[in-house]
Amino acid sequence: MTDNNALFIRGGRSCEVSFADRALSSPLYLILLVICCAVPYIFSAYAAGFWLCVFLLSLSLVLTRNIMPSFAAFLFCTVAVIEQYKITYEEIFGYAGVLALVIPALIYHIIRYRRGRRGYRPGRMFAPQLAVSAALLLGGLGSISAKEYFSLPSIYYMLFLGVVLLGIMVFLDCDMPADGEYAAKYLANTLIAVAALFCVMWLIAFFKDGAQEFPYRQWKNNAGNFMLLAVPLTLWRGARSQRGVFYLLFAVLQCFVVFLSGSRGATLMIGVTGLVSVAVYFVFVKNTARRAAEFAVLFALAVVVAAVVLSDGAARLKEFIGEMDVFDGNGREELYYLGIRNILDYPLFGVGIGYRNDEVWKLNDMAIFWYHSTPIQIFASMGAVGGAAYLWQVIERLKLALRRNHFSVAALLSFIGFEGYSCVNTGDFTPLPFGVLLAVMFIVLERYNRDLPFIGKSTGERVDFMRGRY
């Protein structure tokens, strides 16, 4: 091999990586995705951004076996329409045309790249996800009505959090690069690009609203979820780059944007995981002179920010902490009370994902009853059966992430931040994008840590994907 970064192995023979593979592994591809979402957002043409990203998703499926570029386009598809959180059934079916692009591309991808695809061997995450799938289907047994159980939102969430997500995991696992370093970098860079898009969207919203104060947007919580996942991986990329200070400053910017957005739970969690991630960053930066210089830059920035934001000193800080009460006037107390009551009344199987209580909370067309807390959502919807399944999944994820390398530590901090925020939000029960995103993160972790059932075993024609040029 003349250049391991430009080759992959098929059947023991070295082959040049195609132009398409190199292009889709380039930062320019991610920049293009950002532009495809940001420009339509200026004109509130959310559907245009969505369709552009769908086109790139389908094109990626056709041009390469590597599933990471398609996954990146998928994430941007979900961000493109993030303003449409109150979407109706009619609007949803208006996007059904996406199937006309994606399904043929997916079928072509499966057939075109079948040669060399290893037979699937379940990884660490398969059995727990299977248990979660069963718990979702059994949720509400003996209590939920047939109308609620078979409602469109109920079917969607049961399947896409369960068996459909399991199928997606198998597909992703079969066509994800075996090179863990490449997959980890691609995942990190994708989340960095998504975080950059949100920063641009906030800037656009700021000018749209008159450039007087930081704008309020309903999607602040989703942006917070993405940045909780992105910040530790941004710093992981920075520690491995000669331009690490730029990654460090962008991680700080993400934290600051979450703070300004008014997402209280996200701010609390990013305040914890962000600080720990910065500390871990400096531990893994081995060059002493670089570490000292970057710490000096960070300290100077902290002094400037403190002088501006906390100009009134202790009084301003006390006011800010007081405003961080997640129960302040948002109705969560009543949701939690109802959830606990449902847990006590139906301890084994819960009340089901399709449960409704319009007297407490009037749902949008495609919403389930959100308790705004993952633990309560699990036990209220699926009872002890669901609790056991999700606990098993969490334990297996922690086992995979508790390794002594920077990427595993960063992924663990991303996971902790996301799950901590999900204790007062709906993150875990949002199958698209967060269910898929977490599944990808732990599949990547399996590859990075070589925790794979097929390593060292004969799999027929072996395929080792290109490593990319990150």
Each residue's pLDDT tens digit, 107-119 = 999 999 888 776 6
- Flag whether pLDDT at 94 surpasses 80: no
| Lowest-pLDDT range of 22-26, 82-86, 257-261, 335-339 | 82-86
> Which pLDDT value is given to residue 210?
84
> Which pLDDT value is given to residue 316?
55
The residue-averaged pLDDT of 399-424 equals 94
Report residue 5 as tokens. 């970064």
The pTM assigned to this predicted structure is: 0.89
| Lowest-pLDDT range of 83-92, 135-144, 294-303 | 83-92
| Lowest-pLDDT range of 5-14, 30-39, 67-76, 399-408 | 5-14
Residue with tokens 């398969």: 126
Sheet bearing 7-10, strands edge to edge: 13-16, 7-10, 463-464
- Flag whether pLDDT at 11 surpasses 50: no
> Which pLDDT value is given to residue 450?
83
> Which pLDDT value is given to residue 320?
57
How far apart CA 152 and CA 366 sit, in angstroms, is: 7
Report residue 443 as tokens. 């599949």
Closest CA to 273 of 244, 251, 305: 251
> In the chain, pLDDT over 90 holds for what percent of residues?
61
Please provide the average confidence, as pLDDT, over all residues in the chain: 86
* Phi–psi pair at 438, nearest 5 degrees: -65, -40
Closest CA to 352 of 128, 146, 131: 146
Q: Contact 252/301 with Cβ under 8 angstroms?
A: yes
> Which pLDDT value is given to residue 84?
75
> Which pLDDT value is given to residue 456?
44
| More confident site: 359 or 435 | 435
> Which pLDDT value is given to residue 123?
84
The residue-averaged pLDDT of 394-421 equals 95
- Flag whether pLDDT at 214 surpasses 50: yes
- Flag whether pLDDT at 305 surpasses 90: no
Residue 452 banded pLDDT, cuts 50, 70, 90: low
- Flag whether pLDDT at 197 surpasses 70: yes
- Flag whether pLDDT at 353 surpasses 50: yes
Residue with tokens 């398409």: 20
Residue with tokens 């920075």: 238
- Flag whether pLDDT at 2 surpasses 60: no
Residue 195 makes CB contacts below 8 A (sequence gap 6+) with 226, 227, 230, 231, 234, 250, 254
How far apart CA 256 and CA 199 sit, in angstroms, is: 10
> In the chain, pLDDT over 70 holds for what percent of residues?
84
- Flag whether pLDDT at 73 surpasses 60: yes
| More confident site: 95 or 340 | 340
The residue-averaged pLDDT of 8-25 equals 64
> Which pLDDT value is given to residue 163?
96
Task: Quickly count: other Cβ atoms within 10 Å of residue 429's Cβ.
Answer: 20
One-letter amino acid of 328: D
- Flag whether pLDDT at 14 surpasses 50: no
Residue 17 banded pLDDT, cuts 50, 70, 90: low
Encode the chain in three state secondary structure. Answer: CCCHHHEEEECCEEEECCHHHHHHCCHHHHHHHHHHHHHHHHCCCHHHHHHHHHHHHHHHHHHCCCCHHHHHHHHHHHHHCCCCCCCCHHHHHHCCCHHHHHHHHHHHHHHHCCCCCCCCCCCCCHHHHHHHHHHHHHCCCCCCCHHHHCCHHHHHHHHHHCHHHHHHHHHHHHHCCCCHHHHHHHHHHHHHHHHHHHHHHHHHHHHHCCCCCCCCCCCHHHHHHHHHHHHHHHHHHHHCCCCHHHHHHHHHHHHHHHHHHCCHHHHHHHHHHHHHHHHHHHHHCCCHHHHHHHHHHHHHHHHHHHHHHCCCCHHHHHHHHHCCCCCCCCCHHHHHHHHHHHHHHCCCCCCCCCCCCCCCCCCCCCCCCCCCCHHHHHHHHHHHHHHHHHHHHHHHHHHHHCCCCHHHHHHHHHHHHHHHHHCCCCHHHCHHHHHHHHHHHHHHHHHHCCCCCCCCCCCCCCEECCCCCC
The residue-averaged pLDDT of 309-314 equals 60
Report residue 240 as tokens. 């491995």
Report residue 78 as tokens. 């979900």
- Flag whether pLDDT at 404 surpasses 80: yes
How far apart CA 170 and CA 160 sit, in angstroms, is: 14
> Which pLDDT value is given to residue 13?
40
Q: What is the pLDDT of residues 31-70, one digit of tens each?
A: 999 999 999 999 999 999 999 999 999 999 999 999 999 9
- Using CB atoms within 10 A of its CB, is residue 116 exposed (0-12), middle (13-18) or buried (19+)? middle
